[in-house]
Amino acid sequence: MKVSREQMAENRRRILDAASALFRDRGFDAVSVAEVMKAAGLTHGGFYGHFGSKDDLVAQTLAHVLAVPPGGNTEIRAYLEAYLSPRHRDNPAAGCPTAGLAAAIRHQSPMAREAMTEGLRSQIARLEMALPLADPAGRRQAAIGSWAAMVGAVVLARAIDDPALSDEILEQTRAWIEAGTVDGSAL
């Protein structure tokens, strides 16, 4: 039975969404192609109709999940509040792929690293547009520093077993970024 182009596109989206959640939750190496296909509700045999290899799946999943929609939320305080929250920290499968996968990406293919690079560029650009600083060079510097602090805070908050310290890392990072970028003072 032949599958329509629309159904192929829908199946591909389901595979990418399933892989994205599984990779963010468990890492690249801990997830098999068979698990991804099962999570997508498809048979393992259909995988190679969409992807050439698991490396191809990893790279395309990163490109899929790291794509920042045009416009997006440019309200920086709301973005900081959501990103640096216990809810985000406690739900890695639905959370930021950069925070969940950045450390492991260095062991992946050049295609995967390229997808991560493009995702990082998009996120920095999104933050640049949201920051109220007037000077373009200062806005870029603040965007890069803020993004690095945000990702690092989530990674650290997830890594430790002290809930109070984990919450404090998120709260203090948010306050530090707001004081240095949102309120307009120098970091």
Give pLDDT tens digits for 10-64.
999 999 999 999 999 999 999 999 999 999 999 998 999 999 999 999 999 999 9
CATH number corresponding to 5-58:
1.10.10.60
CB 76 within 8 A of CB 181: yes
| Residue 110 or residue 73, greater confidence | 110
**Residue pointed to by tokens 């499968």:** 93
Q: Classify residue 27 as left (phi > 0), alpha (psi -120 to 50) or beta.
A: left
Name the CA dihedral angle for 96, 97, 102, 104, rounded to a multiple of 10 degrees: 140
Tokens matching residue 21: 């959640």
Which regions of the chain carry the CATH code 1.10.357.10? 67-182
pLDDT, tens digit, for every residue of 126-156?
999 888 877 888 999 999 999 999 999 999 9
67-182 has which fold? Tetracycline Repressor; domain 2 (1.10.357)
Q: What confidence tier does 186 reach under pLDDT thresholds 50, 70, 90?
A: very low
Per-residue CA distances from 172 to 46, 75, 80, 106, 169 (Å): 47, 19, 11, 29, 5
Which regions of the chain carry the CATH code 1.10.10.60? 5-58
* 98 pLDDT higher than 60: yes
pTM reported for the whole predicted model:
0.86
Tokens matching residue 104: 């492991």
Residue 34 identity: A
